[in-house]
Structure 1
């Protein structure tokens, strides 16, 4: 891509590594209000993300995976975050796409910006601001960001104070990746965490960057990427929770720049949705809810392993967390979880495994998540639980 019209670019650009990602989802209702179904018209959207690798140059990647008509991005900027919607003075960089300040993305397509020179430290938060002069239609997004995204009327691309950004949600829109180049520590390759709401960060403190991925990034020298989607299933598509894991794994993990290791923690929803449905939790979120046995789930994991091996990516299996006492639990679910975890531990089919079930289980009742790690629903860890998970995984990596 040409960089000729952008004075903030650097030359030449080395190889890119993903420093932050979000898995795209179909526009839909979520647990908290979002703007995905209404989209944007003559509005700016400012999104704050935390990069897990340092670099001298930065670029963004945008996904229009679920769009049905071309999407026009009128302008885009990247800057260092100064908290909330504010940015650090002097850090705003106008982004270009093939040398132009606007880009049209075809339906179901994507785009990457040209490089911009913005030295970033590992763990630093950056803002990405997009301006839409026209009407976007429903927006490809990531539902559960657990951090604030801001909206302003009109063109606020260059706003430093962020005062124009009066509206907020906790979702990300169109932004699917932030890549860096020219920084140390990426030679070993990025680690991508693949899974459902536990990977996405449900139960962690919103706005505090305390997901499993954040805790791991603080403990390893490699970039760490979060490819979780809350509610995602290994074997079935969901209108709420994304394409099935076996279908989205290549896009959301294997295609990411610089990925060398994938960690798979997924299957509790495949097991637990039917259990919740049988107990009378008849919510639209618990569909589809077929009864899934251990053999079927193991085959789903084997498909993920095959895909990773075909791309030369090391793949680590994580045992499913304790779920006793949650709305996903019952005698049948308990049996399937135990069988799947036994396979992960003993089959040798994963390149390595991390035993999160054992690490988070309560003493005297290992089928239940320990109280000190429980966010309150007997299913999702709290901040301390995510730290414990990261400690265990860091030993395996």
Structure 2
């Protein structure tokens, strides 16, 4: 029985937060991508998403192996991937494909490297903007190059790759559903220090990161993905081996109206706490309908950030109090109180602050994982 071991939520091609290749796509090139698994096994397979493509994308070849240094793959582990027994596959417009499973012994916490070769133009690429880890591009078919030679361009995004599954047979997986805090903004790039990584290490359970930087609960965005109400089914409920959903979402809905810095919201709608409560209730309904235990996480303190303002503060306090006291979630992870500055509970504790008063650093993410681990 297969279990989803790693995920990245698909996004439409966009400028994103850092330079990326999503709008130009790929042609006669190979893309090598590194992902950290949260469940081991003896066989692996991958999911490729063309969720935002308007025409099919042809994958001319693919491989997987144990990650070595940089773009390298550990000698002897590089394994060709097939699709229905063949080396090539077309990913339908707005669809996805799953590879055949191949023998590759992997451990929880280990990284694997997936290489995709595109012989024909892909057009704009469905991708995940913020990977917080290095990926690589090279000219020609490099799927069989274990040494990483030829990969001469770098990226911090994932392209077409949306999941890796193993035959772990686990049914106790946890999905974290949120925005940039869940995605891992503020964690050390390349070090796998997101709170999803920390939670997997603490619990030994499969943990899926379904965060998108800038994501909103109630509204779609050109850069920040489809609204949480619409994407939950695809980005969480469609994955294998889950029994718990943790929701941490809504801060951007109230915070974007306080800042002029958001490129896709000018002006941003002013959202009330009651609207967020209704959105959370819908996520609870969807999660429970899929048989999941649903845990609500309170919004982190954010005074001093560009999201802070009189209205955002009021809405955040009201939403957090509802999460804590309404009894509608199956359990509550009070991240707000755990990360608050004792001298000013509206602010992140300085030792947990990445520096923008909005996102935690590595230590702050460890604390988040500790709180949710205790809740689990």
Calculate the TM-score normalised by the size of structure 2. 0.99
| CA distance 1:288–1:22, shift in 2 (3 Å) | farther
Q: Which residue of 2 aligns with 1:375?
A: 354
RMSD: 0.9
Aligned: 1:71 with 2:50? no
Q: What is the SS of the residue equivalent to 2:120?
A: strand
CA contact (8 A) 1:44 1:129 kept: yes
Extract unaligned runs of 5+ from structure 1: 1-14
Q: Which residue of 1 aligns with 2:336?
A: 357
Aligned ranges for residues 1-397 of structure 1 at < 5 Å? Answer: 15-181=1-167, 183=168, 186-187=170-171, 189-276=172-259, 281-287=260-266, 289-397=268-376
Q: Which residue of 2 aligns with 1:11?
A: none
Report how far residue 108 of structure 1 moved. Answer: 0.4
> Which string of whole-angstrom CA distances, capped at 9 and with x for unpartnered residues, describes residues 158-177 of structure 1?
11110210101100000000
Q: What is the SS of the residue equivalent to 1:135?
A: coil
| CA distance 1:203–1:251, shift in 2 (3 Å) | same
Q: What is the SS of the residue equivalent to 1:336?
A: helix
Structure 1: distance between partners of 2:176 and 2:242: 10
> Which string of whole-angstrom CA distances, capped at 9 and with x for unpartnered residues, describes residues 37-59 of structure 1?
00000000000000001111000
CA contact (8 A) 2:194 2:365 kept: yes
Report how far residue 286 of structure 1 moved. Answer: 4.0
| CA distance 1:140–1:86, shift in 2 (3 Å) | same
CA contact (8 A) 1:238 1:287 kept: no
Structure 2: distance between partners of 1:294 and 1:65: 31
> Which string of whole-angstrom CA distances, capped at 9 and with x for unpartnered residues, describes residues 185-223 of structure 1?
x24x21000000000000000000000101111100210
Structure 1: distance between partners of 2:134 and 2:265: 26
CA contact (8 A) 1:238 1:288 kept: no
Extract unaligned runs of 5+ from structure 2: none
Structure 1: distance between partners of 2:323 and 2:36: 31
Report how far residue 36 of structure 1 moved. Answer: 0.1
Structure 1: distance between partners of 2:267 and 2:211: 18
Report how far residue 288 of structure 1 moved. Answer: 6.4
Report how far residue 283 of structure 1 moved. Answer: 3.8
> Which string of whole-angstrom CA distances, capped at 9 and with x for unpartnered residues, describes residues 276-302 of structure 1?
1xxxx2441445610000000000000
Calculate the TM-score normalised by the size of structure 1. 0.94
Report how far residue 83 of structure 1 moved. Answer: 2.1
Count of residue pairs brought into register by the alignment = 376
Moved more, 97-106 or 282-291: 282-291
| CA distance 1:359–1:176, shift in 2 (3 Å) | same
Structure 1: distance between partners of 2:317 and 2:100: 48
> Which string of whole-angstrom CA distances, capped at 9 and with x for unpartnered residues, describes residues 71-121 of structure 1?
100010000001210000010111111111100111001000001000101
Q: What is the SS of the residue equivalent to 1:47?
A: strand
